[in-house]
Amino acid sequence: MRVALADDAVLLREGLARLLKEAGFEIVGLVGDGDALLELLERTRPDVAIVDIRMPPTHTDEGLRAAKVIRERWPTIGILVLSQHVNTRYALELLSTGTDGVGYLLKERVSDLDELSSSVNRVGQGGSVLDPAVVAELVGRRRQADNPLEQLTEREREVLALMAEGRSNRAIAERLFVTEHTVEKHVKSIFGSLCLPPSSDDHRRVLAVITYLNSQ
Amino acid sequence: MKARLYAIAAAGVVAGAGAAWLAAHQPPDRPTEPDAVLTLVVGASLIGCGLASWRSRPENRLGPVMVITGFLWFAGQLSEASAPWLYTFGSAIQYVWAVGLIYLLLSFPSGRLRGRLDRSLIWATAGLFCMQLLAMLYGNKAGIRCPGCPDNLLQVVHDNHKAQAWLNLERLVGGVVIATVITVLVTRWVRSSPAQRRAVAPVLVAGSASLLALVWTVTFDLLGDPLSSLPATVWFYTSATVPIAVLYVFVQRRLARGMVAGLVVELGTQSPSGDLRDALSRALGDPSLELAYWFPAENCYVDGDGRPVALPDAHSARRATFVEHYGQPIAALLHDPVLEHNAELVSSVCAAASLALENERLQAELRARLVELQASRARLVEATDAERRRIERDLHDGTQQRLVSIAMSLGLLESKLPAQAPAQPLVRETREALAVALAELRELTHGINPPLLTERGLAAALDELCRRAALPTRLELSLDRRLPDQVESAAYFVASEALANAAKHSHGSEVRVAAADDGEHLIIEIADDGIGGAATAGGSGLRGLADRVEALGGRFTVSSPPGRGTTLRAEIPCA
């Protein structure tokens, strides 16, 4: 899989490139800001663009803006936005344009090579990735006692969080050391409790779940 | 000095007696204008008031001018004498005293002429005297109507027509000169300040009346004297009032100094600010008076509210008088330039008011320091905010990046180790510990300066804050613009601290956060439904919030009745 990398911090950019190479990805180029990234994508058309959210010139949300442009110009290129902050609002803004081939991860998450390569692969294959810290923040919000979310069991909450991270039933099953069938049962029960229409498509349900979490 | 004045007075009495005697002992066929009484009234007024003014204000030359004018008046009465040489001399200088009168009017109150026009007018009046002499080369006084007059020793040719022509020319030119003088005086009046008008009003009224009467007289002389001596009599009487008016103004100024005693009493009984200015303004007779107080810390003068005051320079239409107390500057009186002619009054008022002024100065200094303090608090908050942003940026770009890159290296190391290597668990453990440290660092930097606040503004940051709150929180927003950085961050930290307090101490079940911008203030209110009884005193975080809000000129209130929840409210100016 071919990957483009945009981050103004050289130390992190080079470190990340090394990790990705180690994990077997092909790096098509390393750049330091949004404009350079768009130019690189135009030339190389990789499968995934990994973008730091804070880049020159304003050091605020350039990565996010670059992501919007990439979505419009090259809908098939997966986008993985990296951030140093847990910024739920930015993560949801990113995913609200469509969850196919989009991801939001904390930078420190990439130190786990397995986690990194699975995230890049998921985004490259049109799936979605939402950082566990963001999901924890969404699920962990305090709500009134009568809120349906407060009625879920501990296990159902775990499954809900993993769904929101963009994981498939099989991945959830592996993570929780249960069978895929058990996960399916949990998912059905969760959707029932939250009155969400049942969805078999792993990609679609991410959006449904995070939209629900954010609205409550 | 005194002896000289007495000598002049004695000479005046002799001259007056002589002139009156001449007026009273006229042959019946000679015109007698003025009569003995009028002669004495005008002369005594000029010399008497002149001497009194001279004594009262020795530095002002108007006193001597009036005295000389008075003697010239009496000398002019020699035209009534029977001896030919006295008669000739008296006739020649009969009207020279009018030069003194006009000088008096033009130069009042300083005694100095103010420019080329003034000097030209005086020279023109003097020129009229020459025409009188020319007329006398041709004929007797008025040539025609003076059958009983003695011989005119200046007469060379007997030609009454030429004499009359010169006299008429003298009257015409005289009329023009007087009209110009009146115009100058009126213009000056229109252009002067209220304080200046007050100072010159009596003299100007008397002078204008006299000059108008003179114009009337000259006009009737030209027309052939249809009213005989009436206009001239009016002119003489009105002229007699001019020196009286001058003396009145001078004496009034002296009386004004008596007001200083009243001022001292007034200052003893009251002293709130503003009243001092009014009292001084009354004592000085200058409604436009302003006070400025010396502010040593900034080396400048400030007004009563502590704002810097610019002192008038040499070209300004205002003047400044400085007040000192034991050699230290206290205050400056900014006043109308007319008070410069009454320096004694100003200095006695300053002396009387110096203690009250020192008092006011201390208050003004206090207010100036408060203004300064408020500004410095605001700067402090600004500096704190800037510092917070800098620290957050430094941590983000420095420490956090470095730690993340170490985590990456550890990840790489872990992947290169064989699965069963003995170091494998240790590396994983280290990487996970580092992840915890990074999470803590992230929380810390978020607390120092939430990036969302800077990047997306208060509304977004409050939304995020409420979503992350430990108690269920309802947010009501009425904000549709970005506000100044310090306002947004003060409001944010108020909400953040209040939510943290509510979670820790309120035992409540719900919090309501409301933020609204009414165009002038940002009002933020955080209310919980807990047990209340929050303490604002001591080193609590609430004190810090109050400081922060008040530093921006806002108001911070806490209402926390036991059992009825806690409501924090901050109103921060943001117009």
Find the CATH number of the domain harbouring A187: 1.10.10.10
Tell me which fold the domain B456-573 belongs to: Heat Shock Protein 90 (3.30.565)
Q: What are phi and psi of B399, to 5 degrees?
A: -55, -50
* Rounded (5°) CA angle B498-B500-B501: 65
Tell me the CB-side half-sphere exposure of residue A60, using CA atoms within 13 A.
10
B414/A113 CB distance under 8 A: yes
Last residue of a domain, which of A96, A130, A164? A130
Q: Which residues of B touch A86 (CB under 8 A)?
A: 442, 446
CATH number of the CATH domain containing A56: 3.40.50.2300
Residues A140 and A125 in one domain: no
Residues A102 and A28 in one domain: yes
Q: Distance from B535 to chain A by nearest Cα, in Å?
A: 26
B472/A88 CB distance under 8 A: no
Q: Is A166 left (phi over 0), alpha (psi -120 to 50) or beta?
A: left
A111/B411 CB distance under 8 A: yes
Question: pLDDT value at position B27?
Answer: 67
Residues A80/A103, Cβ–Cβ less than 8 Å: yes
Q: Which two tokens stand for residue B4?
A: 């000289």
Element (H, E) at A81: strand A78-83
Helices (H), B153-229: 160-191, 194-222
Q: Distance from B313 to chain A by nearest Cα, in Å?
A: 50
Q: Distance from B480 to chain A by nearest Cα, in Å?
A: 18
Q: Which residue of A has its CA nearest to B395?
A: A84
Question: pLDDT value at position B144?
Answer: 46
Residues A26 and A118 in one domain: yes
Q: Which residue of A has its CA nearest to B459?
A: A89
Q: Which residues of A touch B416 (CB under 8 A)?
A: 22
A142/B456 CB distance under 8 A: no
Task: Please write the tens of the pLDDT for every residue from A134-176.
Answer: 898 888 887 777 788 888 888 988 998 998 888 888 899 999 9
B408/A15 CB distance under 8 A: yes
Q: Distance from A7 to chain B by nearest Cα, in Å?
A: 11
A85/B445 CB distance under 8 A: yes
Q: What are phi and psi of A120, to 5 degrees?
A: -60, -40
Q: Which residues of A touch B393 (CB under 8 A)?
A: 59
Beta strands in B275-415 (DSSP E): 290-295, 300-302, 319-325, 328-335
B405/A12 CB distance under 8 A: yes
Residues A57/A11, Cβ–Cβ less than 8 Å: no
Better pLDDT: B158 or A7:
A7
A111/B454 CB distance under 8 A: no
Cα-Cα-Cα-Cα dihedral of B400, B404, B407, B413, to 10°? Answer: -140
Residues B438/A111, Cβ–Cβ less than 8 Å: no
Question: pLDDT value at position B32?
Answer: 57
For chain A, what is the domain count?
2
Residue B200 burial (CB count, 10 A): 22
Residues A40 and A97 in one domain: yes
Last residue of a domain, which of A130, A154, A177? A130
Name the residue among B411, B456, B469 with its Cβ closest to that of A142: B469
Q: Which residues of B touch A110 (CB under 8 A)?
A: 404, 408, 411
A89/B452 CB distance under 8 A: yes
Residues A10 and A112 in one domain: yes
CB pairs under 8 A between A and B: 94
Question: pLDDT value at position A47?
Answer: 95
Residues A113 and A169 in one domain: no
Alpha-carbon span B163 to B168, nearest angstrom: 9
Q: Which two tokens stand for residue B370?
A: 């408060």
Contacts of A9-13 with CB under 8 Å at 24 or more apart are A9/A52, A9/B397, A9/B401, A11/B401, A11/B402, A11/B405, A12/A52, A12/A107, A12/B401, A12/B404, A12/B405, A12/B408
Task: Please write the tens of the pLDDT for every residue from B241-284.
Answer: 888 888 888 777 776 666 677 777 777 666 555 678 888 888 88
Task: Put the strands of the sheet holding A78-83 in their side by side order.
Answer: A26-31, A2-6, A48-52, A78-83, A102-106, A128-130
Residues A157 and A125 in one domain: no
B446/A86 CB distance under 8 A: yes
Name the residue among B396, B412, B445 with its Cβ closest to that of A18: B412
Q: Which residues of A touch B404 (CB under 8 A)?
A: 12, 15, 84, 107-108, 110-111
User: Chain A interface residues facing chain B, Cβ-Cβ under 8 Å?
Assistant: 9, 11-12, 15-16, 18-19, 22-23, 54, 59-61, 84-90, 106-108, 110-113, 116, 133, 137, 141-144
Residue A146, helix vs strand vs coil: coil
Residues B151/B171, Cβ–Cβ less than 8 Å: no
Q: Which residues of B touch A106 (CB under 8 A)?
A: 442
Low-confidence ranges of chain B (pLDDT < 50): 143-145, 538
When scoring B405, B410, B440, B462 by the number of chain A Cβ atoms within 10 A, the one with the most, hence best to mutate, is B405
Residues A7 and A61 in one domain: yes
Better pLDDT: A201 or A6:
A6
A111/B471 CB distance under 8 A: no
B451/A11 CB distance under 8 A: no
Domain holding A35, by residue range, is 2-130
Residues A72/A43, Cβ–Cβ less than 8 Å: no
Alpha-carbon span B410 to B430, nearest angstrom: 8
When scoring A12, A111, A113 by the number of chain B Cβ atoms within 10 A, the one with the most, hence best to mutate, is A111
Q: Which residues of B touch A113 (CB under 8 A)?
A: 411-412, 414-415
Residues A125 and A140 in one domain: no
User: Chain B interface residues facing chain A, Cβ-Cβ under 8 Å?
Assistant: 393, 396-397, 400-405, 407-412, 414-416, 431, 434-435, 438-439, 442, 445-446, 451-452, 454-456, 460, 463-464, 467-473, 510
Q: Distance from A39 to chain B by nearest Cα, in Å?
A: 25
Residues A59 and A150 in one domain: no
Residues B205/B256, Cβ–Cβ less than 8 Å: no
Q: Distance from B443 to chain A by nearest Cα, in Å?
A: 8
Q: Which two tokens stand for residue B11?
A: 């000479």
Question: pLDDT value at position B227?
Answer: 60
Question: pLDDT value at position B131?
Answer: 81
Residues A29 and A116 in one domain: yes
Residues A104 and A32 in one domain: yes
Alpha-carbon span B243 to B249, nearest angstrom: 10
Which of the 8 DSSP states describes residue B225?
A: -
Question: pLDDT value at position A104?
Answer: 93
Q: Please give the model's pTM, rounded to 2 decimal places.
A: 0.60
A85/B451 CB distance under 8 A: yes
Determine the residue type at B201.
A
